[in-house]
Chain A
Amino acid sequence: DAGVIQSPRHEVTEMGQEVTLRCKPISGHNSLFWYRQTMMRGLELLIYFNNNVPIDDSGMPEDRFSAKMPNASFSTLKIQPSEPRDSAVYFCASSTGQGQAFFGQGTRLTVV
């Protein structure tokens, strides 16, 4: 298996633009997580899905953030409109639900 695949690896966008981050979890994993990493706040859990259903989105910072998982092999995290303070590395991770999470390489987002 290729592991968790995220795209793009880097994204630079202007303030106010819509940004969509993509994730393909490991095949057979039924839990998917979106995390955001910044120097100030470390790794924050934004949202997680179990069997494609959002279980806990209490970490989503604002209504500008939304996440979907239309099927077991794909998820998106969308920011609309983006702001400079959204600049961070966004990680997707998946697991079988028994604990151990496998991380993607992350998407480094810069909003200017």
Chain B
Amino acid sequence: GEDVEQSLFLSVREGDSSVINCTYTDSSSTYLYWYKQEPGAGLQLLTYIFSNMDMKQDQRLTVLLNKKDKHLSLRIADTQTGDSAIYFCAEQRVVAGTALIFGKGTTLSVSS
């Protein structure tokens, strides 16, 4: 399809790991991104991965990229209540120039 797809909701307990999945569309996308949006705020870049990488780790965040399946995931280890937010996956499609195309976002709810 044309859209970047994400599941809409994820609910976890504090201390557990969260895994947010994304399917993107353009196999020639050069960079793939994860952004976080807290209520009433803009989007903050969390992490990104270059398309020739399979994995990137950054403290509690692990990004996995499966280019064959055009699947991207974000794992948050030891999830905290402060991680509750909307998480957006985005791809930089070649045909879109430098613009990022976003999924609809996954709302992560962390309960204590």
Contact = CB atoms under 8 A, between A and B. Distances in A.
Interface of A: 4, 31, 33, 35, 41-43, 45, 48, 50, 55-56, 91, 93, 95, 97-106
Interface of chain B, main secondary structure: strand
Given A42-B102, A100-B33, A103-B44, A50 B97 contact: yes
Given A31-B98, A56-B97, 7 more contacts: A45-B102, A55-B97, A95-B98, A99-B31, A100-B31, A103-B44, A106-B42
A42 to B, nearest CB: 4
6 contacts: A42-B103, A43-B102, A45-B100, A56-B96, A56-B99, A93-B100
Interface in B55-103: 88, 92, 96-103
Contact of B101 (A45, A91, A104): A45
Q: Which of B31, B96, B100 has the most CB of A within 10 A?
A: B100
B98 A99 contact: yes
B42 A99 contact: no
Contacts of A103: 35, 42-44
Nearest to B6: A42
